[in-house]
Structure 1
Amino acid sequence: MIDNEEYGYRRTTLRVLLAVTIFAASFFAVNNWIAGFHLFAVIEGGVAAFWCWILIFAKSTKYLQRWSFIYLCTFYFLVIYGILITTFKAGLFSWLFIFPILSYLLLGIKAGSWITFISVSGGLAVLGNMVWVDNHEMHWIVMGNVGFTLAAIWSMVYVYESKREYIFNHLREQARKDPLTGLLNVKALNDTLADTLKIAQRHSYPVTLVYIDINDFKQINDMQGHQKGNEILLAVAQTIQELTRVEDYAFRYGGDEFCIIFPNCVHEQVRQTFGVRLIERVKLNLDNLTMSIGYAQTGPSDFCLPDTLIHRADKNMYVVKSILKSSDSFHEWQSGNETG
């Protein structure tokens, strides 16, 4: 799935390319009509009009990659058709040089590689056919120059786009992580929970959210120092990661609070497996550190909103915390079932 930043980058690129090529297609349509290539001129004019239609909604369409693909296909058809019906002197083959650039800019590495391979192979095949039929305007040396130039452009664009996507994905991943614990952060929680609930609703399976708060964490910071507090947060985060499944999502919600999303799990299953093990492991390894844990489930039939599910888990956590505060002996409690 392409995120909003990536869509914005590719959306701007498509709109600029449309504006430039609409002008170019219109200009050459007039010239080709004057030169006697009436059918080609009509096709160019029709394609330019079609691109104008794409340009109108390119700013807001949800199907940006699909329309980028359609734009590239119509552009490629126009160039190849022009090469076939005009003379070599027209220089239409020079447009082949920008297809590797356009493909990677608009579609990224995977789709861009396929489109580049098809467009470059097809373009070279058309030029090779002109040599094969002994076109006096074409020579094998020209074919070689075109081929090596396309290969050089393709290689440079591939390296650039690979590095750009790597850096972009790395920065995006860093922006989603808590710098101290390495868990996902609260921004990632909102996005991930919304996506998880959409998938769960589509497949009709439950989702359980766990809300964890470390008891008396402020006292630990005040009495033992923030360094000790950070060590405890790191230890709790590591324990959470060790006890969750690959398909689960763990987050540092803020301060001494953590959230975990358990797709396709009812709350009782999570409480009896993850919850019990977490309490035992933390007590054993962290000098009887205690936590308040709240659970909230939604689905598999009726689903609540992400904010509602977080609020319910938070509320259940505070119920546990209030019980612990009013208890004479400090034992672990966990909240009851809540389905929404």
Structure 2
Amino acid sequence: MVEQLEHNQSHRRSVLRALLWLTLLFGVIFATLNIYRGLYLLASLEIVYAVFALSLLPIIPKTHHLAAWTVAYLVPFFSIMVFALLLPNTSFTVFAWIQIIPIVSYLLLGQRGGFWMSLTFVTAAVVAFTVRYMTDEHAMNLLVVANLAFSSLAVLLFSHIYERSRTRNEARLIELAGTDSLTGIANRMRLAKEFPRLRSQAERSGMALSLVVLDLDMFKRVNDEYGHDIGDLALQHAAQLLSSRLRGSDLACRLGGEEFALLLLGAEHQQAAMLADQLRQQLVATPLHLDDAILTISFSGGVATLGEDGADLSGLLKVADKRMYAAKHGGRNRIVAAPDQPVQPAGNP
């Protein structure tokens, strides 16, 4: 999910930079016009804000506090809009700028931040417009105020619905991208994304983190003898058993082909080995029932633990994969936790 977060940040940086350039350009233009009209206070605010926008341009591309700078930019930006509505010599057409508040807020702050920013300033703008124009002499402006209020709230509502739908669809796409389409469990990409989070959690809490790489035994023979459709059923059967027997904090994923991986939070080296061996025995004891045959499936696996076997996912995969092949060469249907130390309880088939 880190990559997705970085993508969102990059998108928001681009939007904010574009808005800063527009602020700089239109700030100068409107300040010039307002000086000509005698609106010196508003013109001064626009010049100051244009300078502020210019100063932010080199900061936004590299800051680690994008959300804070965004709020620091938007609050005075929207406040100037509302303030302009209260000045006696400004045109009520200034309200047209209020319509962009929800759009800009949701683009830059997301669903929650965009909602509260939009609600605050759109409400303030409607109140400011009402205070200025709803006087005894302008009683007929009630319809104008109502139209502006409803149109502003409509833009806010549609922006909120769109952002909520976009967020949900994005989350769903991310979930699908990290899911193996055949077995329904996590894939290698999901493993790579989840590992840094689980490693940080393990390091903060002082827990162990172990990785098991396992490979179904004689799987080529299954495909050759029964066909690839049955081979797919065997993969689904194994994946279902692995995922159903793990805790919620663990992760089972398919690396590709007939190879799987288990990421076990809080499991020491030997605990991970014993858990993997229990899964091995359960899989053997739970054959796949076909129309005219019973297919017994087994796997060989290797175990690696964070720290003693590697400091990153690549290192752990390399060690666990090497031990998995040692289990294969040692006769299959077993777990190797360390060189020359297979875990193979009595009664192993």
The interval holding the TM-score normalised by the smaller chain is: 0.7 to 0.9
Alignment of 1:77-156 (within 5 A): 77-89=79-91, 91-131=93-133, 136=138, 139-156=141-158
Q: 1:172-216 CA distances to partner (integer Å, 9 max, x unpaired)?
A: 221221111112221222121123223333343321112111112
Whether contact under 8 Å (1:104, 1:157) holds in the other structure is yes
Partner of 1:298: 306
* Cα gap change, 1:137 to 1:53, in 2 (>3 Å): farther
The answer for the alignment partner of 2:73 in structure 1 is 71
Cα separation, 1, equivalents of 2:32 and 2:137? 27
Alpha-carbon distance in structure 2 between the residues aligned to 1:251 and 1:236 = 11
Partner of 1:200: 202
Map 1:131-280; keep pairs closer than 5 Å.
Answer: 131=133, 136=138, 139-272=141-274, 274-280=275-281
Equivalent positions of 1:15-30 (< 5 A) are 15-30=17-32
Are the structure 2 counterparts of residues 177 and 132 from structure 1 closer, same or farther at C-alpha, using a change threshold of 3 Å?
Answer: same
RMSD: 2.7
SS of the residue corresponding to residue 180 of structure 1 reads coil
Between 312-321 and 147-156, the greater mean CA deviation after superposition: 312-321
Distance 1:204 1:127 in 2: 58
Change (3 A) 1:271 1:75: same
Residue matched to 1:317: 324
Contact 1:214 1:256 survives alignment (8 Å): yes
How far the C-alpha of 1:4 sits from its partner, in A, is 3.5
2: distance between equivalents of 1:131 and 1:161?
33
5+ unaligned residues in a row in structure 2: which ranges?
Answer: 288-294, 342-349
Structure 1 residues 41, 264: closer, same or farther in 2, change over 3 A? farther
Q: Distance in 1 between the 2:122 and 2:147 partners?
A: 13
| 1:144/1:20 CA distance change after superposition, 3 Å | same
In structure 2, the residue matched to 1:33 is 35
2:143 partner letter: I
Q: Structure 2 vs 1, CA of residues 254 and 125 (structure 1 numbering), >3 Å: closer, same or farther?
A: same
Stretches of structure 1 that go unaligned for 5 or more consecutive residues are 326-330
Kindly indicate whether the alpha-carbon contact (under 8 Å) linking 1:319 and 1:335 is maintained by their aligned counterparts in 2. Answer: no
- Alignment correspondent of 1:328: none
Deviation (angstroms), 1:109: 1.6
Aligned length: 331
Counterpart CA distance in 2 for 1:210 and 1:198 is: 19
Give the residue type in structure 2 aligned to 1:149: S
- Partner Cα distance (2:201, 2:49) in 1: 39
SS at match of 1:334: strand
1:202–1:122 distance in 2 versus 1, CA, 3 Å: farther
**What whole-Å deviation, never above 9, does each CA across 1:43-97 have from its counterpart, x for those lacking one?**
2222222222323243344433333333322311221222233535253222111
Alpha-carbon shift at residue 138 of structure 1 (Å): 8.5
TM-score when normalising by structure 1? 0.87
CA distance in structure 1 between the aligned counterparts of 2:159 and 2:134, rounded to whole angstroms: 30
Contact 1:88 1:138 in 2 (8 A): no
Residues 155 and 293 of structure 1, relative CA distance in 2, 3 Å threshold: same
CA distance in 2, matches of 1:130, 1:90: 9
Matched, 1:12 2:14: yes
For 2:124 and 2:324, how far apart are their aligned partners in 1? 63
Question: Against the structure 1 CA distance between its residues 52 and 134, is the aligned structure 2 distance closer, same or farther, given a 3 Å change threshold?
Answer: farther
Secondary structure in structure 1 of the residue aligned to 2:102: helix
* In 2, Cα distance between equivalents of 1:205 and 1:76: 48
| TM-score calculated relative to the size of structure 2 | 0.85
Paired with 2:329 and 2:86, the residues of 1 have a C-alpha distance of: 80
CA gap of 1:262–1:154, structure 2 versus 1, over 3 A, is: same
Between 20-29 and 198-207, the greater mean CA deviation after superposition: 198-207
Shift of 1:229: 1.1
Q: Aligned partners of 2:229 and 2:336: how far apart in 1? A: 29
Q: C-alpha distance in 2, partners of 1:72/1:302?
A: 49
After superposition, give the CA deviation of every residue in 1:220-240 in whole Å (9 maximum; x if it has no partner).
Answer: 212221111111110111111
Give the superposition deviation at 1:134. 5.5
